[in-house]
Amino acid sequence: MIRHTRPWVIITDYPTWPSPYFRELHAHAPELAPEFTPDLPALHDRSGPPGVVNLHRLKRLYRGGDGMRTVAAAEVMLTHLRALREAGWKVAWTVHNLLPIDGAPPGEADRIAAHGVLELADAVVTHTHADAHHLASLTQAPITVAGWGGLTHRSTPRPPTVHLAGMVDRMRAATPAVLVLGNLTDYKDLPATTRVFLEQTWRAHLFIAGPERTPGLVTDLEHSIIGHEERVHLLAERVETQDVPTLYAAADVALCPYRTDGPWEFFTRVLHPSSVGTALSFGVPVIAPDLPAIREMTDAHPRLLYPPHEGPTTVFAALDEHPFPAPVDRGRQQGTARWRDIGAVYAHLAAELWENK
């Protein structure tokens, strides 16, 4: 087991609202022993030797007083990082997505923040070789591919809520049952995707579950499915982590749409599709755009990938008759092993950063 003597501090609002990614890393990387703090200023007065500051979701670190991401706040964030480096800290960025994907579309402040961190970073961590390939053109920092991991099975499933139980019953009765699970956001283009689904299928059922993150999106979805409520089922609320296995066990296929137009064009080069990773962790076949990271993650897994610029029309047209294999429960053991491998990569990186100081 690799040991290191310097702290590895992850900037996140854990444990109040833990990131699923770093929650898993915390559980499966004892050799890394990650610590957590909500912001960068807290590190300036931290006692003990400097270590590694591991950035994750940058968007929370450059918001103005009104909560909006601003150029001025991005410059303040970068100033904090420069000061920490001068004090001996190493900067590592775990790149989920190059730019923010929730809330307002990415703009100038987001580009300044992302490229500023890439310029300052001592290490960059990605989930796929596809992401690493593109980021190598944007930074001089060494890039480590940690791999990807989905949710691990933690406990015996509890009885689902009344609303969720109703959806699960309908999924079990549908052939095929197509599941979209996760945040309801603009970058998934769900109203348009739903309309194409209804135009191209006659037997398949679409199940959409998750909280609204883009204001007005649920209203648009509801308009899209008027008259088709018997085949499109919407549950616009957060699904608890412990209920996720129940939904995937009832699904025949997971639909993971991502836009690549306009402000979302960067998905064609850098994308951490957590919806894909979660579906894979439960052994469910995937329908998704043919993007480099998705193609790499779904290799050797049942999938139907469609050209992103064309959309899923052709895939949906064949959906009613496509002989999807039965989902395979990959179980807790495999998920834990994958996360332990990721933890070992982080621990090795920690040792490398201090050996090469």
CATH number, residue 193? 3.40.50.2000
**Residue 148: band (very low, low, confident or very high) from pLDDT cuts 50, 70, 90:** very high
**Do residues 197 and 250 share a domain?**
yes
Is the pLDDT reported for residue 133 higher than 50? Answer: yes
**Nearest-angstrom CA–CA distance, 278 and 249:** 12
Identify the residue with better confidence: 169 or 334: 169
Kindly indicate the confidence band of residue 103, based on its pLDDT and cuts at 50, 70 and 90. Answer: confident
Per-residue pLDDT, 1: 45
The whole domain housing 264 covers 162-281+286-323
Q: Which residue has the tokens 């755009």?
A: 289
65 plus 191 within the same structural domain: no
Longest dimension (CA), the chain: 64
Picking from 303, 327, 328, 315, the residue whose alpha carbon sits closest to that of residue 204 is: 315
If 0-12 CB within 10 Å is exposed, 13-18 middle and 19+ buried, where does residue 45 land?
Answer: exposed
Do residues 271 and 340 both lie within one domain? no
For residue range 225-244, list pLDDT tens digits in order: 999 999 999 999 999 888 89
* Residue that the structure tokens 């639909």 belong to: 255
Asked if the model's pLDDT at residue 330 lies above 80, the reply is no
The confidence score (pLDDT) of residue 45 equals 86
Its pTM stands at 0.92
Asked if the structure places residue 331 within a domain, the reply is no
pLDDT the model gives residue 217: 95
- What phi, psi does 178 have (nearest 5°)? -105, 125
Q: List, for residues 188-202, the tens digit of each pLDDT value.
A: 999 999 999 999 999
pLDDT over 50 (residue 176): yes
Q: In this structure, are 21 and 96 located in the same domain?
A: yes
- Is 156 domain-assigned? no
Same domain, 14 and 82: yes
Residues 12 and 113 in one domain: yes
Range name among 5-9, 17-21, 292-296 with the lowest pLDDT average: 17-21
The confidence score (pLDDT) of residue 356 equals: 62
Answer yes or no: is 117 within a domain: yes
Residues 171 and 316 in one domain: yes
Residue percentage of the chain with pLDDT more than 70: 92
Q: State the Cα–Cα distance between residues 103 and 110, nearest whole angstrom.
A: 12
Say what the pLDDT of residue 156 is. 60
190 & 217 share domain? yes
pLDDT tens, position by position, 60-95: 999 998 989 999 999 999 999 999 999 999 999 999
Per the structure, the count of domains in the chain is 2
The predicted-structure confidence for 309-321, as pLDDT tens digits, reads as follows 999 999 999 998 8
Q: What is the pLDDT of residues 26-71, one digit of tens each?
A: 888 888 888 998 899 989 988 889 999 999 889 999 999 898 999 9
Same domain, 210 and 251: yes
At residue 17, the pLDDT reads 66
Q: Average of pLDDT values for 339-352?
A: 93
Asked if residue 74 is part of any domain, the answer here is: yes
Domain assignment of residue 12, yes or no? yes
